[in-house]
Structure 1
């Protein structure tokens, strides 16, 4: 049992527990975020961070979406809490594993 459980746990830890969300999170990202962050999260226009290299935890991602940061506008009045969670989950799927 441990022979299967340990490699599975290591895999989940190294991938950041991310899964490919393609539902509302991707549509929200395409509409609100891709202009500055790029379709794959690497564009960096206007100082936007490379989301493929982000190591922020879920709560920090949601907080930045909610409140904005520097030139990034806040979305707390534009998106529901559930939409922010969906968007946060999708943003995590853009991460590339560290080599």
Structure 2
């Protein structure tokens, strides 16, 4: 039975880690899953006309609107992910912005 205990402990640790992921980690994971294909890992790719997210000046509400409803070739995510997940992605996207120094 010890291997079973080890396996159960491992699964419990994975579940707890996933449950308590930081917002940045959640945003990054969701971005990697849904956005990076076109926008690139750092937001600069521009595949299929995707905008450079490092240069984006969109407000929080405008970012959420585009994630929710899509734009041009970008699909809408309102039926794919939760509003909290959209907010996590939006916050992660804002971390790409370059400060004007």
TM-score under structure 2 length normalisation: 0.75
Query: How many residues matched?
Result: 79
User: Is the helix fraction higher in 1 or 2?
Assistant: 2
Distance in 2, Cα, partners of 1:92 & 1:25: 11
SS at match of 1:43: coil
Mind listing any 5+ residue stretches in structure 1 that lack a counterpart? 1-20
CA RMSD of aligned residues (A): 0.9
**1:79 matched to which residue of 2?**
81
Which structure has the greater CA radius of gyration?
2
Structure 1 segments (4+ residues) deviating >4 Å: none
**1:31 matched to which residue of 2?**
33
**What whole-Å deviation, never above 9, does each CA across 1:5-62 have from its counterpart, x for those lacking one?**
xxxxxxxxxxxxxxxx532100000000000000000000000000000000000000
TM-score under structure 1 length normalisation: 0.77
Distance in 2, Cα, partners of 1:97 & 1:46: 26
Mind listing any 5+ residue stretches in structure 2 that lack a counterpart? 1-22
